[in-house]
Amino acid sequence: MRKKFIGANWKMNLLYEEAIKLFADLSNSTLNTSEADIVVFPSSIYLSELSKMPGLPVGAQDLYFADSGAFTGGIAARQLKSISCKYVLVGHSERRITFFETDEVINLKLKSAVRNDLKVVFCCGESLGIRESKKHLEFVTNQLMQGWKDLDETEMKNCIIAYEPIWAIGTGLNASKMEIEEMHGTIRRTVASCFSHSLSQSIRIVYGGSCNQHNASDIFSFNDVDGGLIGGASLEFDSFEKIIKSL
């Protein structure tokens, strides 16, 4: 049985006091962390302080692939480890689209993260144009294979895969049960073909397409869905708590 995973991706939201309060409220709640790994991904400027607070583990929303050097604004995996950060997002759709990150850069980031013993939430997903062209399965499979190029099975055990249908994020469109199960099943079969059947059955694949307190229960019941990467609905305690309890 794969342990469920719920990630709260706060993105570039919440002021300092708001972030501290929300993290404290979540950490002090009666959430059952024995049944699911619950991880908060705050803005990087809050990571150091939140990692010192008792409660939930924290993760970074991004990292740079070099260990150190003249990379203004970058954060290295080693630096994240030094503040007890345990997780990191790699390849989020907003990094790919807004910040023009290529599969090659994402691959370097993934390698740096896993080789520094960070647990990675590796994101993949297609646009509406790709979906409408009926090439979505091929597109996502290629994202995966390019992203984990040159990684071995032991390194992949530190990964969680998050499927984000970009076309269903903030558009009012929703992925159907069939669409979600089709993609999650394809991802699991791709893991099996590239690594092993054993890894494909143990690796967690979570959904990240506008999952909220109203649809979470249904989505989490689908085949091959092991939890969610939650955006806007994780910014308020009540809605995020309902998502977690829907597991």
Domain of 220, CATH number, reads: 3.20.20.70
174 falls in which pLDDT band (50, 70, 90)? Answer: confident
- The whole domain housing 45 covers 4-245
The verdict on whether 138 is a catalytic residue reads: no
Q: What share of the chain has pLDDT > 70, as a percent?
A: 98
The verdict on whether 179 is a catalytic residue reads: no
> 19: which residues sit within 8 A by CB, 6+ positions away?
10, 42, 43, 46, 50
153, 164, 214, 236: which is the annotated catalytic residue? 164
| pLDDT tens string 88-126 | 999 999 999 999 999 999 999 999 999 999 999 999 999
Q: What was the pLDDT predicted at 35?
A: 81
Mean pLDDT of all residues in 197-213? 94
Interior angle at CA 18, CA 237 and CA 209, nearest 5: 50
Q: What was the pLDDT predicted at 169?
A: 79
Which letter, b or e, does each residue of 95-117 get, where b requires 16 or more Cβ atoms within 10 Å of its Cβ?
A: bbeeeebebebbbbbbbbbbebe
Mean pLDDT of all residues in 136-147? 98
Q: What was the pLDDT predicted at 190?
A: 98
92, 94, 126, 136: which is the annotated catalytic residue? 92
Number of domains in the chain: 1
Q: What share of the chain has pLDDT > 90, as a percent?
A: 89
CA 163, distance to chain mean position in Å, is 8
> 102: which residues sit within 8 A by CB, 6+ positions away?
none
Q: What was the pLDDT predicted at 172?
A: 63
Q: What was the pLDDT predicted at 90?
A: 98
More confident residue, 123 or 209: 123
32 falls in which pLDDT band (50, 70, 90)? Answer: low
Mean pLDDT of all residues in 11-22? 98
Whether residue 158 is predicted with pLDDT greater than 70 in this model: the reply is: yes
Whether residue 2 is predicted with pLDDT greater than 80 in this model: the reply is: yes
The pTM (predicted TM-score) of the whole model is 0.96
Q: What was the pLDDT predicted at 209?
A: 84
